[in-house]
Amino acid sequence: MKKSDLSKAELHQQAEAKLIERKKKTGPLPETEKDTRRLVHELQVNQIELEIQNEELVQARAEAEESYRQYTDLYDFAPVGYFTLAQDGTISRVNLAGATLLGVEHGKLVKRRLGLFVSCESRPAFSDFLESLLSGEGKKICEVTLLKNRDEPFWARLEATCFEGGDECHAVMVDITERVQAEEELLVTQEALEAANLKLQIALTREKQLAHTDVLTGIHNRRYLFELAGHEFEIATRYQQPLSVIMFDLDHFKEVNDSFGHAAGDQILQLVTQAASKELRSADVIGRYGGEEFVIVLPMTNAQQALPLAERIRLGVAAIRVPTEKGDASVTLSLGIVELIHGAQSAQTRSAEDLIRRADEAMYAAKQAGRNRTEIGE
């Protein structure tokens, strides 16, 4: 039990015990009247009680001074800045860490406004922070750019509390510059990675497109043409739907290259594919079969429905003229059409390749019949 916890009875008991010890050392008092002896005894006890109480006060003062010293050490040498702010943001108290963060001597900070050390871009946020604090809504947090010695910027996190009805706010300040810089570097790295990933995706898309596309004409190449044709053949076969194929070839194309040059021939190939493509639906498939031969796959279309389309393409190509130094280059088309036959008659067409082979035979029949015409095959 501490001395400060002694009750009045215990204090009196201790004083009595000490008085007995003193009397043993000094000897008994001379015989006097009974009342006088009792009065002397009480005075002696009171004196000892005062001595005990004085000892308690001395010890309590020493403990208080030690506690204050420890508190001062904790406050001043804490790793974060502590501030006490008036309602207008004036600093009424600050520890050494806070003064170091702001780059100003401890004594010169008191009675100065903390807002003077806030950068211009952070002042609106800081004003809102102070205003919300004074509303007495509990702890508030903000991150602002401060100016050390009003010159060197650094990022700081402020956490403050202003109790309802209080005249002061208690704030903690932490330097978060390294964290903010790390976040900014991470953001830059992330943006760079996203840009690189987008570039890679574009490159992959382009590579995929190139893998499916004929470089000269921009339509599907032979490999991808067969892949798409096979897909449409499976659907038409499964659901017993109409499906037609047109194959066309440029008549006497070798003579065009020999007479007007390969540059004119390439231009004609491009114009032919453009003329054909503009006549097609979005569901139709066109691809370069090889050289000057092309294939069109027409879902949900029979041969009779495909014939007007083939004729529009033939007439459109016949009107093409490519000016050259040796005159205008032009071509005509020979086209063959076949449709997928379902049921017992479909034995000769077991795949998309079979359907294209039959279209090739119909196209050959058109050439045999004089070229620049369309034939429907069996």
What is the per-residue pLDDT for 28?
59
Q: Judge whether 340 and 233 are in contact, CB under 8 Å.
A: yes
Q: What is the mean pLDDT of residues 222-248?
A: 95
Look up the CATH superfamily of 81-175: PAS domain (3.30.450.20)
Domain 222-376 -> CATH class: alpha beta
Range among 88-97, 103-112, 262-271, 344-353 rated most confident = 262-271
Measured in whole angstroms, how far is the alpha carbon of residue 108 from the centre of its chain? 44
Cα–Cα dist 308/314, whole Å: 10
DSSP E strands in the chain: the ranges are 81-86, 91-94, 140-148, 152-161, 168-175, 243-250, 285-290, 293-299, 322-324, 327-329, 333-339, 374-376
- Report domain extents, the chain: 3-76, 81-175, 222-376
Give the residue with greater pLDDT, 107 vs 360. 360
Regarding predicted confidence, which is higher, 129 or 333? Answer: 333
Q: Which entry of 66, 159, 234, 292 is annotated as an active-site residue?
A: 292
Q: What is the pLDDT of residues 29-76, one digit of tens each?
A: 555 556 677 767 777 777 777 777 777 776 767 666 555 555 455 556
Count of beta carbons in the 10 Å neighbourhood of residue 277: 15
- pLDDT (mean) for 4-17: 70
How far is 2 from 57, CA to CA, in rounded Å? Answer: 12
The mean-pLDDT minimum among 77-86, 173-182, 345-354, 364-373 falls in 345-354
Which string of DSSP letters, residue by residue, matches 162-226? --TT-SEEEEEEEE-HHHHHHHHHHHHHHHHHHHHHHHHHHHHHHHHHHHHB-TTT-SB-HHHHH
Other CB atoms closer than 10 Å to residue 110's CB: what's the count?
Answer: 13
Establish whether 33 is a catalytic residue. Answer: no
Give the per-residue pLDDT at 308: 97
> pLDDT for 79-118, tens place per residue?
788 888 888 889 988 888 889 899 998 788 889 999 999 9
Give me the mean pLDDT over the 321-335 stretch: 96
pLDDT of residue 3: 45
- Pick the closest to residue 275 from 234, 317, 328, 233 (CA basis): 317
pTM, rounded to two decimals? 0.55
